[in-house]
Structure 1
Amino acid sequence: MSIMPFVSNSDSSSTGYKHSKYIVFEKNLMELFETCPVCSRMSDVRTYRRGTFLSIDQKCHHCQFSKQWKSQPVIGSTSVGNIQLSASIYFTGSSYFQVQKLFQAMHLQNISYSAFRRHASTYLETAVIHKWHQDQEAEFQLLSQRKVKIGGDMREDSPGHCAKYGSYSLMNLETNSIIDIQLVQSNEVGGSHNMEKEGLKRSLQLLESKGVAVDYIVTDRHPQIQKYLREQKITHYYDVWHLEKGLSKKLGKVAKEKDCEVVKKWQRGISNHVYWCATSSSSGPEKVAKWTSVVNHMQDKHTHDNPLFPQCQHPIRQSRDRNNFSSSKALYKVEKILTNKRVLTDVERLSSRYQTSTLEAFHSVILRFTPKSVVFPFIGMLCRQYLAAMHFNENAGRTQARTTSGTLKYRLHFPKSKKGGHTVKPVKSPPTHCYVQNLIAGVFEDIVPNPQPYLEELQKIPIPDDLSSAFDHPPLTEAVAAYRSRFRQGQP
């Protein structure tokens, strides 16, 4: 999804939000107002501070000279610097409390948390919602001209079946850009186990309402998703990595059993075979034929009964390490895992071209904007999901970085799954953050002068009740009295 700038309706020179800022010590600043510029005598100086804003009133009782100085422009009754600080914290996915600790360490004057939340609800969240809808509408107009290949996946804000939020993301697999995010709260659908289906359902309904036709969708093997897409008659393929991960876990358990150590030597080969079957085949039955051939291959047999894949494509060579799989306990267990009915059905529907690995990368970006250790309100969570999508879409097409001599850059990576092994990854060029500047421009040039239309757009978003709304809420005084009496039992 391309990033569109806000449509500017006013001149930014009056607000000055683009001007440079400096850290000025109070002692050095007050030296400028101690003496009267007319008679050079001592002046009466009074200060007023609100957040990062400082106003100084200078008056000379000898020559009646007076002057008022302000540290930053003011819009109405709100200073530009206070709003811009709130915007910078919010739009970059930072934490107010982390910034507060930084300011306290430097003795910098800061806005209060209540002011930050007031700015967020009045200006910042409205800017994010409007900007996302603006970019999304432009993307849908392009996608409505052809059938789109999409990938979908759910991310929950906590592991297991205790999640409060689930965000379902749809990606255009041809451009690796996020085209829709649906945030679902667990009490909307009767539990967190139903959130993924509901998120996909809402996304597909949105695409349909915008005239976007789906060619096919690639997801994991979630049973509810399989059934729903089958009922909707939408072509559905499975991501290879999710199948490979499940098989690797099962093979890893078998490899730890007695007389099954040989399975460990074949694990990586079997994992690679899953990807090869998916990417080198033109039909589902061909994928299955190639997949089942691995059982013969492990026994050093390279001709097969299936006419779709009658012979292995690698050169026939004499194996130096003969690990005889035939009539062994290991072969029986491995064959049972690999030729399971459900596994064969899933192999037939593996995606040959596009996978959802880029969606997993997007989920790691979401973590920077919505850490799982922090609780966010519904609108706050939704806006930060949109910010993560804006950041991801802007940087999805980054090129590989080069050295000063023009050589492509690479780095070694040691993933946990490799268990000591390494991979080589290309180093990408530094990310950009143009969306942050566009959002700040939208706040000062469009929303602050007339926030009402943007607030109305925000208010159209349905907000589900809190999870605690279904519980009894006793008066605080009664709850405190019961709490104190419980701990005073047995005391005189």
Structure 2
Amino acid sequence: MNMQLCKYNTFRRHARMFIEPAIVSYWQKSQEGMLQKLHAEEKVIVGGDMRADSPGHSAKFGSYTMMDLKNNKVVDLQLVQSNEVGGSYHMELEGLKRSLELLKERGVTLDCIVTDRHLQIQKFLRESSITQFFDVWHIEKGISKQLEKAAKKKDCEKLRGWVKSIRNHIYWTAATSTTGPERVAKWTSILNHVQDIHSHDDPLFPKCLHPLRIAQYQWKAAGTPAFHKLETILSTKRILKAVAKLSPHHQTSSLESFHAVILRFAPKNVVFPFLGMLCRLYLAALHYNENAERAQATTSTGKPLYKLQFPKARKGECRAKPVKTDPTFCYVANLMDLIFDQVFVDPAPFTQELLKIPIPEDLCSQYERPDREEVISGYATRFNLAAV
């Protein structure tokens, strides 16, 4: 087609000299403005979670995101390489420590932090005297999976009819409670409710709040295999401790949405260098922050727009999802102006800031590199091995 295309080496040279310094500088200025606003607030509620570049415990990169849950903005991103902390399992804790240290340096006062149930995170926050809440969806997802699995067993089929009610009950418990013991009291009341018993011994929640006459459900009798399995799932020590720390208002669903945005900038099936990965994370954060508060789209008559979805997890249940207005890309135009007006003119100050970012050694640097010819001579496949 006789199209003019630059080679990869040319792109990398331009990225190293102009694009990456501009992205880092633009993100740092944007982040500094957000941190100054958080410093002026008395109490800040943040959410934290890590995204790995591959599943399992073989990830190379882990990006820890800290988000202000009141205005739905990404305030910090920390990229951790697995050889910095001795393995991919420890990357999430290291990312959290770095983010908290940055917020402390900027004088941000935390009210609480909402996370998942990562054990290392729980221990660190407990020892640091930082109030922690759990995201409701992460706990509900685990309980729902256990109930669905139990409903496939003999004499437990009727549990499937209660899964949706129990799922709604855990969200209601989190939203209507103010203390941990109250959450536990409301949560455990479901075990009486499924037996058609609506008065409870716990004074924190003495009776159900629904009308006395309700629709006929498949009530469970104590002593049956189905009720025993339900009680085992809902009242374990680990579940009760988690329910006591359910987040009452703010959740980490926005963090999950941001992680989906990262896939558009840094797909998991593509390998990037450390600095290239970091800049792609910054671009994803800039895009997300600019479009975090998009309004719902409407028709020409002002009627809100929705689209119908069939989520895989809901197994055929149709749901309505609001349609947002089209995203904007003002950050792209600002970055282009920065590159052409300042970075091209004098790249030295920008590259100096880029050099301050500590870049860890490659994963292969910890191994001794053998002789090339020896490795090639020892190459063999299962199809051309010599006959024995």
TM-score between the two structures when normalised by the length of structure 2: 0.96
- Alignment of 1:129 with 2:24, yes or no, is yes
Shift of 1:484: 7.9
Count of residues paired in the alignment: 386
Which residue among 401, 415, 425 is the counterpart of 2:297? 401
Letter in 1 for 2:17: T
Which residue among 379, 382, 385 is the counterpart of 2:275? 379
Shift of 1:394: 0.2
Q: 1:173 to 1:490 in 2, by over 3 A?
A: closer
**Which residue of 2 is the match for residue 431 of structure 1?**
327
- Alignment of 1:286 with 2:189, yes or no, is no
> Considering only aligned residues, what root-mean-square deviation do their CA atoms show, in Å?
1.7
Q: Distance in 2 between matches of 1:431 and 1:460?
A: 33
Q: 1:409 to 1:307 in 2, by over 3 A?
A: same
1:331-380: per-residue Cα shift (whole Å, max 9, x none)?
Answer: 01110111111111111110000000010000000011110000000000
**Which residue of 2 is the match for residue 163 of structure 1?**
59
Shift of 1:487: 9.5
1:300-342: per-residue Cα shift (whole Å, max 9, x none)?
Answer: 1000000111010000115434443332101011101111111
- Alignment of 1:305 with 2:305, yes or no, is no
Which residue among 82, 89, 99 is the counterpart of 1:193? 89
Question: What fraction of aligned residue pairs are identical, expressed as a percent?
Answer: 54
Q: Distance in 1 between matches of 2:215 and 2:366?
A: 67
- Alignment of 1:112 with 2:7, yes or no, is yes
Q: 1:428 to 1:471 in 2, by over 3 A?
A: same
Q: Distance in 2 between matches of 1:396 and 1:322?
A: 43
Q: Distance in 2 between matches of 1:488 and 1:237?
A: 58
1:435-474: per-residue Cα shift (whole Å, max 9, x none)?
Answer: 1111111111010110011101001000111111111212
Name the SS for the 2:55 alignment partner.
coil
Q: Distance in 1 between matches of 2:361 and 2:328?
A: 37
**Which residue of 2 is the match for residue 142 of structure 1?**
37
Instruction: Structure 2: state its 5+ residue gaps.
Output: none
CA contact (8 A) 1:262 1:323 kept: no
TM-score between the two structures when normalised by the length of structure 1: 0.76
CA contact (8 A) 2:220 2:226 kept: no
**Which residue of 1 is the match for residue 265 of structure 2?**
369
Shift of 1:482: 3.8
**Which residue of 1 is the match for residue 48 of structure 2?**
152
Q: Distance in 1 between matches of 2:197 and 2:384?
A: 78
Q: Distance in 2 between matches of 1:477 and 1:487?
A: 21
1:405-447: per-residue Cα shift (whole Å, max 9, x none)?
Answer: 2211111011101100011111000000111111111111010
**Which residue of 2 is the match for residue 460 of structure 1?**
356
Letter in 2 for 1:111: C
Aligned positions of 1:444-483 closer than 5 A: 444-483=340-379
Letter in 2 for 1:121: R
After superposing on structure 2, the runs of 4+ consecutive aligned residues of structure 1 that deviate more than 4 Å are 484-491
Rg larger for? 1
- Alignment of 1:441 with 2:337, yes or no, is yes
Instruction: Structure 1: state its 5+ residue gaps.
Output: 1-105
CA contact (8 A) 2:48 2:67 kept: yes
Shift of 1:481: 3.8
CA contact (8 A) 2:46 2:67 kept: yes
1:75-114: per-residue Cα shift (whole Å, max 9, x none)?
Answer: xxxxxxxxxxxxxxxxxxxxxxxxxxxxxxx542111111
